[in-house]
């Protein structure tokens, strides 16, 4: 029996053609989606925001990156001066989603939030799956105002991964 030799270039061409056709059919999911605020994109999700009246703290998401198995969130925190010292304890910014709580990886460092100054907090949560459903929120559990624990932790809702 006679076999014609097949070049590896033609096999690679077939494989890349198959991948491209699967992508065009919508069978492959995007690796990640990143949104930044403020944005000039049409029809973008509203910027997630939160407020803690008891300590006069405003929270805004400035960037959210949805990955296939994780989510990264950058928050802007502005303290209006209800306390002399507002402190977020180490590893206490938790993501609550689908009945579970996730700690940031690596754990967030302790953070002093100065009055009147915007403070940035970058967090990443490894979920083992994409955040596709509603109800997720970041909670600042270990917040203290003048060395007194804040009983009602500030939270900010995180939307599910958008379909672009």
Q: Does domain 33-158 have CATH number 2.60.40.10?
A: no
HEC profile for 57-97?
Answer: EEEEEEEEEECCCEEEEEEEEEECCCCCCEEECCCCEEEEE
- Mean pLDDT across 60-79: 96
Q: Given a cut of 50, is residue 59 above it in pLDDT?
A: yes
List the domain boundaries for the chain. 33-158
- pLDDT tens for 78-120 read 999 889 889 999 999 999 999 999 999 999 899 999 999 999 9
Query: Any idea which residue has 């940035």 for tokens?
Result: 120
Q: How confident is the model at residue 157 (pLDDT cuts 50, 70, 90)?
A: very high
């Amino acid at each position: 029996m006679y076999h014609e030799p097949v070049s590896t270039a033609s096999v690679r061409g077939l494989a890349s053609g198959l991948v491209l056709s699967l992508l065009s059919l919508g069978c492959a999911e995007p690796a990640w989606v990143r949104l930044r605020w403020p944005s000039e994109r049409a029809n973008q999700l509203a910027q997630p925001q939160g407020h803690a009246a008891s300590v006069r703290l405003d929270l805004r998401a400035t960037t959210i990156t949805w990955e296939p198995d994780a989510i990264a969130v950058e928050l802007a925190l502005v303290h209006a001066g209800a306390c002399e010292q507002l402190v977020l304890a180490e590893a206490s910014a938790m993501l609550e989603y689908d009945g579970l709580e996730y700690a940031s990886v690596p754990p967030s460092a302790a953070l002093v939030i100065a009055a009147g100054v915007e403070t940035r907090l970058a967090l990443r949560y490894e979920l083992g799956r994409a955040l596709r459903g509603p109800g997720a929120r970041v909670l600042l559990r270990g917040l203290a105002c003048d060395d007194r624990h804040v009983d009602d932790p500030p939270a900010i809702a995180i939307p599910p991964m958008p379909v672009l």
